[in-house]
Homo-oligomer: A and B are copies of this chain.
Amino acid sequence: MSPNRQMALMVQARQASTFDPTLLTHIIHDGEENTSSRRAALARVESALGITDTMQLPHLHTGLNRRELYLEGLRRGRAIVTDMLQHNHTRFVNLTERSQLTNATPFGLNFLMFRRTINLQGTTEQKRYWLPLIDRMEINGCYAQTELGHGSHVRGIETTATFDSAAGEFVLNSPTVTATKCWPGGLGLSCSHAVVAARLVTRGVDHGVHWFVVQIRNISDSTPIKGVTLGDLGLKMAYNGTCNGYAHFNLLRVPGSSLLAAHAQVLPDGTYVRNEAGAPENLAKQSYATMLEVRRVVIHWAAFGLAQPLTVATRYAVVREQGALMFSQPTVPEVAILEYKTQHQRLLTLISQAYAILFASKELDDCFEEYQQEKREGKLGRLSSIHAVSAGLKAWATQAVAAGAEEARKMCGGHGYLVISGLPEMVATACAAATFEGENYVMWQQTLRYLFKQIGVLQAGKMLDCDMTESLSGYQKWLQVKEEVSHLLPESDQLSEPATLLKIFKHHFHRLLSAAHFFYSQQTRTSSPAEAWNASLTRLLPAAHAYIEYLVLKFMQRRVAVVGQAQPSLLPVLSRLTELFALTTITNPGPSFTSTSFAEDHILTADHFLQMRARIDELLAALLPDIIALTDAWDFTDASLCSALGCRDGNVYQRLMSWTKQLPVNQQDLAREAWAIEGGIGEFLRGDITSGTKSRL
Could you tell me if B63 and A66 are in contact, using CB atoms closer than 8 angstroms?
Answer: yes
Could you tell me if B671 and A222 are in contact, using CB atoms closer than 8 angstroms?
Answer: yes
Partner of A155 from B177, B189, B330 at Cβ < 8 Å: B330
**Which of chain B's residues have a CB closer than 8 A to the CB of A326?**
445, 449, 529-530, 533-534
A233 interfacial by beta-carbon distance below 8 Å: yes
Give the contact stretch, choosing among A357-365, A574-582, A625-633, A677-685.
A677-685
A31 interfacial by beta-carbon distance below 8 Å: no
**Which of chain B's residues have a CB closer than 8 A to the CB of A64?**
65
Could you tell me if A419 and B237 are in contact, using CB atoms closer than 8 angstroms?
Answer: yes
Task: Take A151-B413, A219-B688, A255-B690 as given contacts and tell me if A697 and B234 are in contact as well, using a CB distance cutoff of 8 Å.
Answer: no
Could you tell me if B657 and A334 are in contact, using CB atoms closer than 8 angstroms?
Answer: no
**Which of chain B's residues have a CB closer than 8 A to the CB of A322?**
149-151, 153, 156
Could you tell me if B600 and A215 are in contact, using CB atoms closer than 8 angstroms?
Answer: no
CB distance from A620 to the nearest CB of B (A): 9
Bound Cα distance from A168 to B213, whole angstroms: 81
Could you tell me if B65 and A534 are in contact, using CB atoms closer than 8 angstroms?
Answer: no
Closest B residue by C-beta to A659 = B234
Interface positions of A from 463 to 521, Cβ below 8 Å from B? 484, 486
Could you tell me if A600 and B593 are in contact, using CB atoms closer than 8 angstroms?
Answer: no
**Which of chain B's residues have a CB closer than 8 A to the CB of A695?**
255, 257
Bound Cα distance from A591 to B407, whole angstroms: 10
**Which of chain B's residues have a CB closer than 8 A to the CB of A8?**
none
CB distance from A606 to the nearest CB of B (A): 4
Partner of A183 from B153, B226, B414 at Cβ < 8 Å: B414
Q: Mark A410-442, 1 if CB is under 8 A from B, else 0.
A: 100110111110001000100110111001011
**Which of chain B's residues have a CB closer than 8 A to the CB of A182?**
414
Could you tell me if B697 and A257 are in contact, using CB atoms closer than 8 angstroms?
Answer: yes
Closest B residue by C-beta to A686 = B138
A270 interfacial by beta-carbon distance below 8 Å: no
**Which of chain B's residues have a CB closer than 8 A to the CB of A660?**
231-234, 246
CB distance from A352 to the nearest CB of B (A): 13
Q: Mark A635-652, 1 if CB is under 8 A from B, else 0.
A: 000000000000000000
Bound Cα distance from A246 to B659, whole angstroms: 13
Bound Cα distance from A654 to B148, whole angstroms: 10
Bound Cα distance from A613 to B516, whole angstroms: 12
Give the contact stretch, choosing among A39-47, A304-312, A336-344.
A336-344
Copies of this chain, count: 2
**Which of chain B's residues have a CB closer than 8 A to the CB of A449?**
326
Bound Cα distance from A119 to B606, whole angstroms: 52
Could you tell me if A653 and B178 are in contact, using CB atoms closer than 8 angstroms?
Answer: yes
Partner of A324 from B126, B153, B595 at Cβ < 8 Å: B153
Give the contact stretch, choosing among A67-75, A95-103, A287-295, A378-386.
A67-75
Could you tell me if B672 and A222 are in contact, using CB atoms closer than 8 angstroms?
Answer: yes
Closest B residue by C-beta to A224 = B671
Task: Take A341-B537, A439-B413 as given contacts and tell me if A215 and B653 are in contact as well, using a CB distance cutoff of 8 Å.
Answer: no
Could you tell me if A67 and B414 are in contact, using CB atoms closer than 8 angstroms?
Answer: no
Q: Mark A232-259, 1 if CB is under 8 A from B, else 0.
A: 1111110000000010000011111110
**Which of chain B's residues have a CB closer than 8 A to the CB of A74?**
674, 679-681
Task: Take A414-B436, A602-B606, A606-B602 as given contacts and tell me if A225 and B419 are in contact as well, using a CB distance cutoff of 8 Å.
Answer: no
Could you tell me if B70 and A684 are in contact, using CB atoms closer than 8 angstroms?
Answer: no
CB distance from A314 to the nearest CB of B (A): 16
Partner of A341 from B188, B534, B675 at Cβ < 8 Å: B534
Could you tell me if B691 and A218 are in contact, using CB atoms closer than 8 angstroms?
Answer: yes
Task: Take A133-B689, A190-B674 as given contacts and tell me if A534 and B588 are in contact as well, using a CB distance cutoff of 8 Å.
Answer: no
Task: Take A225-B692, A606-B600, A679-B78 as given contacts and tell me if A217 and B341 are in contact as well, using a CB distance cutoff of 8 Å.
Answer: no
A271 interfacial by beta-carbon distance below 8 Å: no
Give the contact stretch, choosing among A366-374, A554-562, A661-669.
A661-669
Could you tell me if B541 and A681 are in contact, using CB atoms closer than 8 angstroms?
Answer: no
**Which of chain B's residues have a CB closer than 8 A to the CB of A325?**
530-531, 533-534
Could you tell me if B418 and A406 are in contact, using CB atoms closer than 8 angstroms?
Answer: no
Closest B residue by C-beta to A230 = B671
Partner of A417 from B236, B257, B654, B656 at Cβ < 8 Å: B236
A117 interfacial by beta-carbon distance below 8 Å: no
**Which of chain B's residues have a CB closer than 8 A to the CB of A591?**
592
Partner of A687 from B219, B230, B600 at Cβ < 8 Å: B219
**Which of chain B's residues have a CB closer than 8 A to the CB of A424?**
236-237, 428
A321 interfacial by beta-carbon distance below 8 Å: yes
Bound Cα distance from A153 to B323, whole angstroms: 5
A94 interfacial by beta-carbon distance below 8 Å: no
Could you tell me if B215 and A534 are in contact, using CB atoms closer than 8 angstroms?
Answer: no
A296 interfacial by beta-carbon distance below 8 Å: no
Closest B residue by C-beta to A330 = B155
Could you tell me if A150 and B334 are in contact, using CB atoms closer than 8 angstroms?
Answer: yes
Bound Cα distance from A151 to B610, whole angstroms: 34
**Which of chain B's residues have a CB closer than 8 A to the CB of A539?**
613
**Which of chain B's residues have a CB closer than 8 A to the CB of A674?**
70-71, 74, 106, 189-190, 222
CB distance from A68 to the nearest CB of B (A): 7
Could you tell me if B177 and A654 are in contact, using CB atoms closer than 8 angstroms?
Answer: yes
Q: Mark A544-566, 1 if CB is under 8 A from B, else 0.
A: 00000000000000000000000
Could you tell me if B345 and A697 are in contact, using CB atoms closer than 8 angstroms?
Answer: no
A33 interfacial by beta-carbon distance below 8 Å: no
Q: Mark A150-194, 1 if CB is under 8 A from B, else 0.
A: 111101100000000000110000000110101100001110110
A91 interfacial by beta-carbon distance below 8 Å: no
Partner of A441 from B156, B342, B687 at Cβ < 8 Å: B342
List, sorted by A's number, 22 A–B pairs whose CB atoms are closer than 8 Å. A63-B234, A70-B670, A75-B679, A106-B674, A149-B321, A155-B330, A182-B414, A219-B686, A223-B672, A225-B692, A231-B661, A231-B666, A232-B666, A233-B660, A234-B420, A236-B419, A323-B442, A327-B528, A417-B432, A484-B606, A589-B590, A597-B597
Give the 5 A-B CB pairs with smallest separation, nearest first: A589-B589, A63-B66, A257-B697, A599-B599, A222-B675
